[in-house]
Amino acid sequence: MHKIEQFQRIAASADFCNELSGVFSRVYSGFLHRILVFYTMNEFRDPPQILGEAPAWTEALARLSAIARIDRPFLIIGERGTGKELAAERAHFLSPRWEGPLVKVNCAALPEELLDSELFGHEAGAFTGARARHIGRFERAHRGGLFLDEIASASARLQEKILRVVEYGTLERVGGDRTVAVDVRVIAAANVDLPALANAGKFRADLLDRLAFEVITLPPLRARMTDIPLLARHFGRRMARELDASFPDFAPETLAALCADPWPGNIRALKNAAERVIARWILAGHEGPAELGPGGLDPFQSGFRPLSAGISGGMSGGMSGTPSNEAAHFPPPVPGIREQALPADEGPHAAPTDMASPPAIGFADSVARYERKLVLEALAAHHFRQNRAATALGLSYDQFRGLLRKYAITPAALKPTKD
């Protein structure tokens, strides 16, 4: 009983209440801080969303999640558009430094002098125009992470300075003589073979040794083709939501075309294509599953696409158009069209004529007659289906309909002649 009374007197004392209040206040404040940081990372910016179920992709993600918890620098290697920056965000989010900033720098986007200043900062008067001290990205990333994209683009001099920060955690601002200590985890990325560059003397081998505590190589999209429908629907839904419309899904033929493309542009190119198909379909007021349509994979596809002198072949992978040559735009002539044929010397492959003799008809009339002839031939070649004829000519459906109106091609003209 005596001990109970003693405890009651202590509990009633002001000091005890103040101390207990302080403990609860610290615990509550810390809890609120964690909640605030969590919601800041999840509500005010999108959390890292990494989709995919292909074995090559899930294996890479498992290795990424494992290295994220170890406070060491590491490399992310992958082709363009494979999601290197997204992987870096995920690694930072899962790391003990998740409450700190993740500062990003694209080394290929800045010239050497500006990159030097951006990474390490500069003092006032360090160079012409440096009117005030500038805090560099390494300092801004203190107690957080620094993502160095396209690290292979940094010069040998800057690679040496980066190595010093990674190795010793110190730097000097441009134009300064004071050593600044920083606590930064470096995540570097490249889309080239860094060991080959190091062997060729084009990348510092000692920096490569320091960064390569672990190397995560992200598989290209062609190595995870089973993920294409999942990714395409994800991007398509986001586009439909942006347009305040319901997601119509993709037609089976559209998904087949998306899965058949090699995608050298990888996820970035697939995202553009999926969003483009859905946006065009919704804005055109179509119903049902979205069809690919002309230029769905290659937005540059057009009958009026400029020819590229000295460049052979066309674009592929998300922009897998036909080769950039004139013949690719023209279907073969088809007999049986009720149309006045061009004379033999007025076709696209006509032999050169005497330049001194004036043409029989004007240039504009010749172009118009040839254009009309192409439209009719494309219709006949595709059984008078306007969508397919437009695709064969590299035109959108609206462009093709415009030509029909321009040349007053009526339903009667669309029927083949009878012998």
d(CA 389, CA 383): 9
> Is residue 159 a part of any domain in this protein?
yes
Contact 253, 289 (CB under 8 A): no
For 30-54, the pLDDT digits (tens) are 444 444 444 444 444 444 678 999 9
- Tell me what pLDDT residue 306 has: 83
CB neighbour list of residue 307: distance below 8 Å, 6 or more residues apart: 324, 325, 326
Report field, pTM of the whole predicted structure over 0.75: no
Query: Do 121 and 234 share a structural domain?
Result: no
Contact 98, 92 (CB under 8 A): yes
For 114-160, the pLDDT digits (tens) are 999 999 999 988 888 888 999 999 999 999 999 999 999 999 999 99
Between the alpha carbon of residue 269 and those of residues 79, 221, 265, 345, the distances in Å are 12, 10, 5, 44
For 309-336, the pLDDT digits (tens) are 555 444 444 554 444 343 334 444 444 4
Residue 181 pairs in a beta bridge with 170
Query: Do 287 and 201 share a structural domain?
Result: no
CATH for 198: 3.40.50.300
For 187-244, the pLDDT digits (tens) are 999 999 999 999 999 999 999 999 999 999 999 999 999 999 999 999 999 999 999 9
Find the mean pLDDT for residues 269-279.
96
Structure confidence at residue 397 as a pLDDT band (50, 70, 90): confident
- Token digits of residue 381: 């070649």
Domain that holds residue 391: 330-348+361-414
- Tell me what pLDDT residue 321 has: 43
Contact 267, 82 (CB under 8 A): yes
- For residue 365, give the amino acid letter: D
Q: Which of 159, 187, 219 is the last residue of a domain?
A: 219
Please give the tally of structural domains in the chain.
3
> Is residue 31 a part of any domain in this protein?
no
**What is the pLDDT of the chain when averaged over all its residues?**
80
Which of 103-128 are b and which e, b meaning 16 or more Cβ less than 10 Å from the residue's Cβ?
Answer: bbbebeebeeeebbbbbbbbbeebee
Query: Do 182 and 100 share a structural domain?
Result: yes
CATH for 309: 1.10.8.60
Q: Which residue do the tokens 């004829």 mark?
A: 389
d(CA 380, CA 195): 57
Find the mean pLDDT for residues 19-38.
48
Find the mean pLDDT for residues 245-272.
94
Q: Which of 219, 236, 251 is the last residue of a domain?
A: 219
Can you say whether residue 381 is alpha, beta or left, with left for phi > 0 and alpha for psi between -120 and 50 degrees?
Answer: alpha
Query: Do 176 and 126 share a structural domain?
Result: yes
- Tell me what pLDDT residue 138 has: 96
For 162-180, the pLDDT digits (tens) are 999 999 999 999 988 899 9
Contact 175, 169 (CB under 8 A): no
